[in-house]
Structure 1
Amino acid sequence: MLFFDFLYYSIARFYSRYKEKGAASSAAGIVGGLQAANVLILYFIYLMTRVEKPYVDKLLCVALFIVFQITTYVRYIYRDKHSMEVIEQKWFDKSETARKQMKLCIYLYCIVSIVAFFGLAIYLGQRNK
């Protein structure tokens, strides 16, 4: 889960630049939301390939988001081995080139996840009309 640790660290650093008090909890929420969105993307793809007229269960979507929000919040806020200081140390142990590559991967991951999630949701919604 090192990738998600660095994602969390990058988002928390971004928010802390703007003197936001809850930068750590906001970052945990965003990471949890992206993880839930990825699971839902896989679910959407499964529905598209297996079901003629797919139906997305809203309760399942909400439950997934809640589960991922709670688990990421507990992981990054209450666990010492995943604290900002520990992740920051791992981040600076990487070379400058590796950090640049990781930043690029993080940006691409966020963009692709958001576009795919909303794109598939809109597509499935239009397909059901």
Structure 2
Amino acid sequence: MVEHELLILAIQERWPDLVHGRDFWVAHPLDPATGEQSSDAFIAEWKCSVVPPYVGDLLTRAEQLRPIQAASKAREKRDTLLAASDWTQASDAPTDTKETWAAYRQALREIPQQPEFPMNIEWPVPPSNDVHRR
């Protein structure tokens, strides 16, 4: 099932100057019982001078973009986790704290080298709370 983010990516890849919310609107149907997406996203409104595209081609491209989007989101999460643990590597951090967190931080950096990246990622577990943030 193609989510609205993927369809937007496919549209913006083909027409980089178009802006979602201004030039077009993408939506997806919801299951009334669960509130969950129930089918592929669709173009709800096309408000620009570009000839409206055939959605089937865009849905196909959106599926092809899924790994690219997943990689981008994984790197974003990894970068956030690294930033959240930067304090452990400060020059005034205790040596045992630096050492304890170094392996975790290296595992985060190596996530893109995992064999099933980006569709199946084994996220490293941060060190236990025995090492407290100063």
Fold match, TM over 0.5?
no
What is the TM-score of this pair, normalised by structure 2?
Answer: 0.33
Q: Name the structure with the higher strand share.
A: 2
TM-score (normalised: structure 1) = 0.34
Larger radius of gyration between Structure 1 and Structure 2: 2
